[in-house]
Amino acid sequence: FSSNFTQLPHLAGTKENLHLAQQVQAEWKEFGLDSVQLVHYDVLLSYPDDTKPNYISIIDEHGNEIFNTSLSEPPPPGYEAVRGVVPPYSAFSAQGMPEGELVYVNYGRTEDFFKLEREMGINCTGKIVIARYGKIFRGNKVKNAELAGAKGVILYSDPADYCAPGTDPYPNGWNLPGGGAQRGNVLNLNGAGDPLTPGYPAKEYTYRLDKASGVGLPKIPVHPIGYHDAESLLRNMGGYAPPHSSWKGNLNVSYNVGPGFTTNYSTRSVKMHIHSHNEITRIYNVIGTIRGTVEPDRYVILGGHRDSWVFGGIDPQSGAAVVHEIVRSFGKLRRKGWRPRRTVIFASWDAEEFGLLGSTEWAEENAKVLQARGVAYINADSSIEGNYTLRVDCTPLMYRLVYSLTKEIPSPDEGFEGKSLYESWYKKNPSREYKEVPRINKLGSGNDFEVFFQRLGIASGRARYSKNWNVEKYSSYPVYHSVYETYEIVERFYDPTFKNHLTVAQVRGGLVFELANSVVLPFDCRDYASAVSNYAHIIYNLSRNHEEELATYNVSFDALFSAVKNFTEVAASFHERLQQIDINNLIAVRSLNDQLMFLERAFIDPLGLPGRPFYRHVIFAPSSHNKYAGESFPGIYDAMFDIKNKADQHEAWEEVKRQISIAAFTVQAAAGTLKEV
């Protein structure tokens, strides 16, 4: 399947991706699902202009273009004749031809702009900034640049972040070639889905905002380039020296910050030419179901996206192939007369790359039934981003399930023959918070679980094979979102025997099977209690950097700790009751299962987080500074962030107190849902 799905580009909104949807639909039907539907939405997408290519130039004092960045990536061997490869671009970039001095802003993180503005006194207003990819979501880089007053953003892949030591550029190795560039959207949607229909499904009848005032659209031009082109732009940078060695990448340049070029070249400027356009385009999800026997009104969802930037060798097709195999397995059981206890829904999402649009629109359309009936959502994007060990991000409710499941799956790793996946995972990545278990991460965002977890409060999890983050410092994987992400790079370098794909299929499929089939839901609320307690201590310790203000403004965490203590006690006694249950008493089982299912829902605040109405989970949210990372107690965290630089200290600390009270209320209310009825 992996090879089949990666022969052509499958960009969202193109006929190739519709054809793939129709193929997936036909094959899922053949595999034996009860029903398989194509569900369409009309959403805002963004494409380059075929007739006016995007590029960046260096301009001399006479206005001549003396250097231009390349218009496309050199194709990998065997793909020279493939049509429909979209050139590298930043989806949803504003149009424009800004010209100005360049400022190098490192990774474009909040702390990088603080360093420039506060410590070095460099003003980015009216400048074009160049930021290296890595560390944080690209949309956050663009937002930070916009807030700093920049009039354009150039994103580039530095070899320090996109070339691993000891391997060659593709095709001889798995590193990014100098002509490769990373596509990707630069939205700041904060969970809104389609920019023109926030909160509602993008159907024919839906009212739309006008195209210019869509949610999260950048107001300045943005464009990505490779490191060969970046070297030409950075080569003669003048101005300030890099403030720290951590601002230096691996190109043969000074990494001077600017603004502008050195004295000899000071008459030169940089000009961007960006002509991409946004258009409302039809997208297609494939939704397949197997109806449950005992509880057909309880849904376990396995979803992953189908659209890719180009061939999608890793992202998403290494994941879509796994979903396909899981559907085939469930279909095989189904044809033998088996049915799950609960309904299982399989989804092939469209337009994930354009802001999680397919999954979010479907969840918006089905929000009422999902919040009433959704048991769990398992995400299935890329199955591999390395070949070192398992990586899991999930709700604390699923910790025990993940640990017990991985103990039953054989490890694919060298040197762990005859041992379990749990053993190799624990050996290679032990937890920092808890003794003698492997590490599990918080859910952030940047993938299709976002609407289910952060907006609707449906227990969610994801698993894939990953790299050794302690050793390998490069960001994501080198060829991410480039034309070089092919079937061959997977088959030759990442997973030649597909044994890691198989392991990921066993984990994802096993999670879905257990969640859909266990009589009692395999959720452990005591692990949520430990996690919430741990997060409360973390945020309290953070607050102790401001002892004086805590006293002055009478800030107390007592209510939160009291709520956490109550939650912990109630969770323990709920777990006791669960052990005593008579599993033949269907109503008693259903009642306790509903308490477990609705526990995640209990952490949802209908008002959402400040300024982010679609992030409604009080315990977890995507970080305000990096969409990819999860933050715990995000309301309190954001209220305290950089608080010493807020103008009105009284007002700032009042907001911290408000956020602590919201957190305390929510944890206490969640405890109330677990009490004996």
Per annotation, catalytic residue among 93, 385, 617, 623: 617
Tokens of residue 288, six digits: 């397949």
Asked if 372 and 506 touch (Cβ cutoff 8 Å), the reply is no
What residue has token string 């969610």? 460
Tokens of residue 212, six digits: 């210019």
Distance (Å, whole) CA 534 – CA 85: 47
Per annotation, catalytic residue among 99, 365, 594, 654: 594
108 CB contacts (<8 Å, ≥6 apart)? 129, 131, 132, 136, 140, 141, 142, 144, 145, 153
Distance (Å, whole) CA 615 – CA 254: 41
Side-chain-side CA neighbours of 61 within 13 Å: the count stands at 5
Per annotation, catalytic residue among 161, 352, 495, 655: 352
Distance (Å, whole) CA 210 – CA 227: 37
378 CB contacts (<8 Å, ≥6 apart)? 300, 301, 302, 303, 460, 461, 462, 508, 511, 512, 515
- Residues in a beta bridge with 389: 466
Tell how many helices (H) and how many strands (E) occur in the chain.
20, 19
604 CB contacts (<8 Å, ≥6 apart)? 455, 456, 457, 616, 617, 618
What residue has token string 């249950």? 581
- Residue 274 backbone phi and psi in degrees, to 5: -120, 120
- Residue 599 backbone phi and psi in degrees, to 5: -65, -45
Asked if 297 and 343 touch (Cβ cutoff 8 Å), the reply is yes
Cα 447 to chain centroid distance, Å, stands at 4
Instruction: Report the sign of the C-alpha dihedral through residues 559, 565, 568, 570, in that order.
Output: negative
Cα 91 to chain centroid distance, Å, stands at 16
Asked if 330 and 505 touch (Cβ cutoff 8 Å), the reply is no
Per annotation, catalytic residue among 556, 562, 573, 591: 556
Distance (Å, whole) CA 277 – CA 62: 30
Q: How many CB atoms lie within 10 A of CB 418?
A: 7
Cα 239 to chain centroid distance, Å, stands at 36
Amino acid identity, residue 35?
S
Side-chain-side CA neighbours of 314 within 13 Å: the count stands at 25
Whether 556 is a known active-site residue: answer: yes
310 CB contacts (<8 Å, ≥6 apart)? 9, 11, 85, 86, 183, 481, 482, 483, 485
432 CB contacts (<8 Å, ≥6 apart)? 439
Whether 576 is a known active-site residue: answer: no
548 CB contacts (<8 Å, ≥6 apart)? none
471 CB contacts (<8 Å, ≥6 apart)? none
- Is 8 in a helix, a strand, or coil? coil
Distance (Å, whole) CA 253 – CA 436: 45
Distance (Å, whole) CA 235 – CA 252: 8
Whether 352 is a known active-site residue: answer: yes
Whether 575 is a known active-site residue: answer: no
Q: How many CB atoms lie within 10 A of CB 118?
A: 10
Positions marked catalytic: 352, 556, 594, 617
